[in-house]
Structures are given as structure tokens and as C-alpha cells.
């Protein structure tokens, strides 16, 4: 095991479904190196955890940044089908009575390169996992990706959040809000993902990366 990978294993939660790790390490070793490089340089900071939110999270932006420097891009996919109603297809007297065009489109994937797709679910509603798995499964069965990766909070972070106190921003009644309330257990984290995976028929190989308390640091914005 490479030293950088040992550090990743010790400080992140890494798991797989349908041999996702084997797929990416053997078929796309350079992309796996880029993923490890991004994770090795990432830390989770107090001021961003306590940020009241609104718009794209600074945590997600910082996670995406090293990937984008390596050519990973956001991407969405659209399939266009032509459906013809008629009779005697393939014969001299073939008739086309009606032509129907059908389009299906995925949501925008956070990061895409080669045949690997990454979704970062820092603090969304847990239903976003269903959307991600459905898209991964669709792209895998269409032969567009070979592995999907979800980066999310490891459930152990909730215990940490409970020790961090209050938001900087107060609620509408002027009362301070608990940081732990922002990162509620109903939002995206590994336990929620596993509950879904236990009942989901996603055939796409998956890699699950959980952000853990090991990468948390106390840092205040200047």
C-alpha cells in the first residue's frame, strides 16, 4: 500500500459495493491517484461547518477544486430516442404513421472524468442519494461509466457536531441555533446511504468515501 493510500485509509472511511475499489484501482489507477491527492490535501474546518449556509457549500467548493485542476468537470447527459408508429417495417410497403421523439436527461454530476463519476453530498437531504444511485446505474448500464463514487459525511461526524455549540447566525426569534441542527441526521451521511443501498438494485460498482472527525481542524475566518 502506498504511503498516501495508507493515510487515506487511516483518516477517511473507505468502502465499496460491487468491487468498486478494484475497478478504479486496476482500470483507472491515475484517476485513483488524483482522488487520493484531493483527499490528502483536504481538511474540514470549524468556520465552514458553522457557516449558516445558502448556495453551494464552501466545503463542497474546496473538495471540488483539486479535481477541477486535474481536468474533472461537471457533466450531465441526455438520451434522445426516436419512436416510430407504423407497420410493415423493413418491407417495400413500410409505412411511418407517426414519429415520436423522447428525451431523458440526468441531473448534473459534480465531477466526471474518463469513465468515473463523483458526487459530493456534504449536507443535502438524504433523498439526493437516491438520485445519485439512479444516475450512476443509468450511466453504467449505458456503458458511459465503470464506477461511481459518493463522497459524504461519515455518521461519526454527528457526535463531533454536537460538541461544537452554536451557529454564528441566529434564528428568526433571535435565538442561537445549534450547529448539530444544521447537520441533522436526516441529511446525507453514510448510515443513510447504507439503508438505501440495502434496498436499492444499483448495479454500478460504487466507492463510498466518508469524511470523518480525523480531518476536522479548528480554524476561524480572519
Q: Is the pLDDT of residue 219 over 90?
A: no
Contact between 194 and 137 under an 8 Å Cβ cutoff? The reply is no
- For position 32, what pLDDT does the model report? 96
Per-domain boundaries in the chain: 3-75+107-217
Q: Is the pLDDT of residue 134 over 60?
A: yes
Q: What is the assigned CATH class of domain 3-75+107-217?
A: alpha beta
- Residues 6 or more apart whose CB falls under 8 angstroms from that of 209 comprise 12, 13, 14, 39, 149, 150, 151, 152
Helix count (H) and strand count (E) of the chain? 9, 12
Full DSSP string of 189-205: -HHHHHHHHTT----S-
Whole-prediction pTM: 0.85
- For position 183, what pLDDT does the model report? 86
Average pLDDT of the segment spanning 125-133 = 92
Q: For residue range 18-44, what is the model confidence (pLDDT) as tens digits?
A: 999 999 999 999 999 999 999 999 999
Residue, of 178 and 53, whose pLDDT is higher: 178
Residues of the chain with pLDDT > 70, as a percent, come to 90
Q: For residue range 140-178, what is the model confidence (pLDDT) as tens digits?
A: 999 999 999 999 999 999 999 999 887 656 556 667 778
Q: Which residues pair with 147 in a beta bridge?
A: 116
Amino acid at each position: 500500500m502506498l504511503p498516501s493510500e495508507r493515510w487515506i485509509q487511516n483518516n477517511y472511511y473507505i468502502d465499496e459495493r460491487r468491487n468498486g475499489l478494484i475497478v478504479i484501482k486496476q482500470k483507472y489507477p491515475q484517476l485513483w491517484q488524483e482522488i487520493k491527492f484531493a483527499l490528502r490535501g483536504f481538511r474540514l474546518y470549524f468556520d465552514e461547518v458553522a457557516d449558516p449556509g445558502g448556495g453551494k457549500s464552501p466545503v463542497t467548493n474546496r473538495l471540488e477544486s483539486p479535481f477541477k485542476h486535474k481536468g474533472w468537470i461537471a457533466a450531465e447527459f441526455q438520451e434522445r430516442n426516436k419512436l416510430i408508429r407504423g407497420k410493415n417495417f423493413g418491407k417495400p410497403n413500410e409505412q411511418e404513421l407517426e414519429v415520436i421523439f423522447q428525451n431523458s436527461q440526468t441531473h448534473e454530476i459534480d465531477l466526471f472524468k474518463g469513465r468515473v463519476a463523483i458526487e459530493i453530498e456534504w449536507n443535502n437531504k438524504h433523498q439526493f442519494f437516491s438520485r445519485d444511485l439512479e444516475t450512476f446505474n443509468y450511466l453504467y448500464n449505458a456503458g458511459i461509466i465503470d464506477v461511481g463514487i459518493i463522497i459524504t459525511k461519515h455518521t461519526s461526524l454527528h457526535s463531533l457536531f454536537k460538541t461544537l455549540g452554536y451557529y454564528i447566525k441566529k434564528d428568526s426569534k433571535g435565538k442561537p441555533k445549534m450547529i448539530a441542527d444544521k447537520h441533522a441526521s436526516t441529511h446525507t451521511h453514510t448510515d443513510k446511504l447504507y439503508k438505501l443501498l440495502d434496498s436499492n438494485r444499483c448495479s454500478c460498482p460504487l466507492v463510498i468515501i466518508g469524511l470523518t472527525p480525523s480531518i476536522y481542524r479548528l480554524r476561524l475566518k480572519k
